[in-house]
Structure 1
Amino acid sequence: MRVTDLARRADTTAETVRHYTELGLLRPDRDPANGYRRYGGDDLRRLRFALKARGLGFTLGDVRALIEESESGATPCPKVRALIETRLQEVEARIQELRGLSDRMHAAVAAWENAPDCRLEDGRVCGLIDSFNADRG
């Protein structure tokens, strides 16, 4: 398969296939006649695995480690369980950060609802932002 064929079969983009190839996650052969990359069934399986893992929040580094562990003959399942716990904690922390940001944004919208638009002559960029106190809302 060529890049576009592999991408189509895995429901992704050719750019993703090329990127994953550059990272060494996919290992195509070279067609001796024209030098094009030729992807096989192993590449398709690895690509589908990588896409599913990414969809679950695993990093490309995680994907590489899991593939390497599997190829060494070991089962990566214990590592998968440990990694997903770590990624889940990271996502939950990020959600908390985003909730805080959302609260500050709602407070700013409310605080600025009736504030006049004005051009500042003292060099400040925007009085709305300068006047906002996230602690008070």
Structure 2
Amino acid sequence: MKVTELAKEFGTTPDTVRYYTRLKLLNPTRSENGYKYYPPIEISKLKFILSARQLGFSVSDIQHIVDEASLGKAACPLVRSLIKERLAETEKQFQAMLALRKNMKDALAQWEVKEDKAPTSTMVCHLIDSFEPTEENGGSHE
């Protein structure tokens, strides 16, 4: 299968396939006419890579998993360990986004009742200057 065919098969772009090829995660063969062809094993690898990316694995993680498997070792313990790390990172990001969302909602509620003011020599926008986050969302300034 050629690059464009492979990309279409998996609903991705040819650039994505080329990117993973440049990283040596995919190893196509060259035909006499110079086209890169991806045999079935490489098609399976791309499916694996795309699935791993959807699960939040980094390219580095994927390379580590592939390296482990290429040594004939079961990659499952590594995969479990990595997904636990990615889940912990995602949870931290999620909590940070929830806090940001709360601050944004609080700001909007505070600003709905405030009048518009022109900037001055000491103020750009009084709405932002006057915002006071609640204690649970970083209101204390230590």
- What is the TM-score with the length of structure 1 in the denominator? 0.90
Q: Aligned ranges for residues 70-81 of structure 1 at < 5 Å?
A: 70-81=69-80
Structure 2 match to 1:95: 94
Q: Secondary structure of 2:56's partner?
A: coil
Alpha-carbon distance, 1:131 to partner: 1.7
Please report how far the alpha carbon of residue 73 of structure 1 lies from its aligned counterpart in structure 2 after TM superposition. Answer: 0.8
Moved more, 73-82 or 23-32: 23-32
Gaps of 5+ in 1: none
Asked if structure 2 preserves the Cα contact closer than 8 Å seen for 1:58 and 1:87, the reply is yes
In structure 2, the residue matched to 1:125 is: 124
- Tell me the equivalent position of 1:2: 2
Return 53-62 or 126-135, whichever deviates more: 126-135
Tell me, which stretches of 5 or more residues in structure 2 are unaligned? none
* Change in 2 beyond 3 A, CA 1:30/1:134: same
Counterpart code for 1:41: P
TM-aligned CA deviation for residue 123 of structure 1: 5.7
Distance 2:111 2:86 in 1: 37
User: Given the superposition, is the C-alpha separation of residues 135 and 62 from structure 1 closer, same or farther in structure 2, using an over 3 Å criterion?
Assistant: same
**Is the partner of 2:120 in helix, strand or coil?**
coil
Letter in 2 for 1:65: H
C-alpha RMSD of the superposition: 1.6
- Could you tell me which amino acid in structure 1 is paired with residue 37 of structure 2? R
| Residues paired across the two proteins, number | 136
Separation in structure 2 between the aligned mates of residue 97 and residue 4 of structure 1, nearest angstrom: 39
Question: Taking structure 1 as reference, are residues 15 and 123 closer, same or farther at Cα in structure 2, changes over 3 Å only?
Answer: farther
- Is the partner of 1:73 in helix, strand or coil? coil
Q: In the TM superposition, what is the alpha-carbon distance from 1:129 to its structure 2 partner?
A: 1.2
Residue aligning to 2:133: 134
Question: Which consecutive segments of 4 or more residues in structure 1 shift more than 6 A?
Answer: none
Which residue matches 2:26?
A: 26
Q: Structure 1 residue 85 and structure 2 residue 84: aligned?
A: yes
- Distance in structure 2 (CA, Å) of the matches to 1:59 and 1:135: 35
CA distance in 2, matches of 1:93, 1:119: 38
Over the matched positions of the two proteins, sequence identity in percent amounts to: 42
The Cα offsets for residues 46-85 of structure 1, whole Å up to 9 and x where unpaired, read as 1100111111111111111111111111110010111111
More divergent stretch after superposition (107-116 vs 5-14): 5-14
Residues 84-136 of structure 1: CA deviation (Å, up to 9, x unaligned): 11111111111111111011111101010121222213163322112212246
Kept after mapping to 2: 8 A contact 1:26/1:43? yes
**8 A Cα contact 1:10 1:44, kept in partner:** no
